[in-house]
Chain A
């Protein structure tokens, strides 16, 4: 069910579950920011969960279907229009060749996933179709989709028209959103007061929020414990000898505005980190809009593993519901 791009939206890219295995060479995993939404959208249209789909941020694209099939839109909440007529989200929508999918303005969340029967079948790079624009890898010629692109799709599977993900299994951001952080890495570099403030303060998503990372502002600046500057680290108290950055790690350049690295993370650099957002909360970051209030909540390893198991259980229930 190939698609023709009439309008590309703001920044719409092909994404699947990513290309792990190359982070030691600076090539990030990539893949859908909101993985639960990608899995759900694929299951709805009868694709393997890890098939490639389109991820749009803030503003949806306008797409013409070049053959009959199914489409499903998950993730953020916004009006979904087929030839101008509103359609339900998190639902398999039957479409005919020549029909046009478009979108209204966002009501909540930040990113939608658009899956179509057969999945997007652009050429894979290093085992994934995910678009990594900085390295010009994957997607449509290594870039976001553009008006006039015709996007190929694969062999359709057996999706059921009208199938829907039960409301209770859909996930989106609350307000204020809570991100659970396991303290660690260079947490001991800041004072006990700064540690308290990090979790006590209310932060807001800054405009610099993309697939590489999300910046937050509004909390108190951090005070550092006195420390002799390590050789090779640089002169600022927030500098480390350049090291690796975990996905979800919270770096704080200059001790002022935390940045949480996401799927297209830079793999390393010279800023200290105070901890890491737990894996179960990474999808949620992909649904945060600039200016949204956010709180960081202290997590333990046991709590992180329990949340991870819970998240997996939700995906398992979606699988059952759509089986």
Chain B
């Protein structure tokens, strides 16, 4: 893991913590960006953590590019020795897998897919060595995920599953991106899951849909009334499978303000997780069940 710095024009510094994805790289990125945010440095305009990298947008008239670079390198050396622990929250996200809406959409764009004969889930299950879509869905929802980046479009979380490298699910993106994806589709591309916050173009495989809105520009939904974007990098997500009836009930209750996502505050220690992934995950999910 070797950090690489590059100027993105005169207003950005792009920092690649590692070329490949890992929890270590994500943790390093989030700890440097958190430290930079706390520093409140004049001239820093945007601090954007990503999966295994991050980016800073700054005003070179206030802080010179070389000075900005120096600041980041100093923060990096401090991050190396810092404890890899964060206080965060675990959120339960209900998902209706194999729903009719993403199914209708995937049929419409079948010619852009690697395997036009089946569904996105059938394909993902097969190439990951699962006997059935159900077995794949089980692997998908039984272990939690880290929100490793929020972006692409407004409020869209990228998630990386908290399992060892050899258990990671991997699925290529569509051969050619779709021009349409239903709002709140749960998708998958590379080693990342995502939730499409708005309807629009997309290239990730589509597995299901959540009745839980995660972006609300009107700030009228009960749990989005303080801020329109639900997710932050560092959040932990546990998907829970639901059926049609439950989906429709939650959707109706969101409208009346009666439904809110289940959330528990937790702390996450990377060393503890690395020593015992399954045990650490079980504790996270217990905290959620108790909430």
Contacts and interface: CB of A to CB of B under 8 A. Distances in A.
Contacts of A27: 154-155, 229
Contact of B151 (A26, A126, A231, A308): A26
A270 B190 contact: yes
Contact of B60 (A22, A277, A308): A308
Q: How large is the interface on A (under 10, 10 to 19, 20 to 34, 35 or more residues)?
A: 35 or more
A136 B9 CA distance: 29
A168 interface: no
A49 B156 CA distance: 33
Given A136-B217, A232-B20, A24 B49 contact: yes
B217 A125 contact: yes
Contacts of A312: 61
Interface in A251-294: 266-270, 273, 275-279
B136 to A, nearest CB: 19
B158 interface: yes
B270 to A, nearest CB: 17
Interface in B6-57: 6-12, 14, 16, 18-22, 45-55, 57
B10 A242 contact: no
A127 to B, nearest CB: 13
B73 to A, nearest CB: 17
A230 interface: yes
B173 interface: yes
Contacts of A239: 190
A231 B22 contact: yes
Contact of B6 (A185, A235, A268): A185
Contact of B198 (A126, A135, A269): A135
Contacts of B173: 234, 270
B189 A246 contact: no
Contacts of B233: 24
Which interface class (under 10, 10 to 19, 20 to 34, 35 or more) fits B?
Answer: 35 or more
B50 A182 contact: no
Interface in A18-40: 20-27
Nearest to B7: A184
A276 B48 contact: no
A214 to B, nearest CB: 15
A235 B172 CA distance: 7
B54 A244 contact: yes
B9 A241 contact: no
B145 interface: no
B153 A24 contact: no
A185 B13 CA distance: 9
B46 A23 contact: yes
Interface string B148-192: 011111111010100001000010110000000000000001111
Contacts of A185: 6, 8, 14
Given A20-B45, A25-B155, A125-B217, A247 B50 contact: no
A142 interface: yes
B21 A241 contact: yes
11 contacts: A25-B232, A26-B153, A137-B154, A185-B6, A233-B20, A243-B14, A244-B53, A247-B9, A247-B12, A266-B151, A268-B48
Interface of B: 6-12, 14, 16, 18-22, 45-55, 57, 60-61, 65, 149-156, 158, 160, 165, 170, 172-173, 189-192, 197-198, 200, 215, 217, 228-229, 232-233
Interface of A: 20-27, 125-126, 132, 134-137, 142, 182, 184-185, 230-235, 239-249, 266-270, 273, 275-279, 301, 304-305, 308, 312
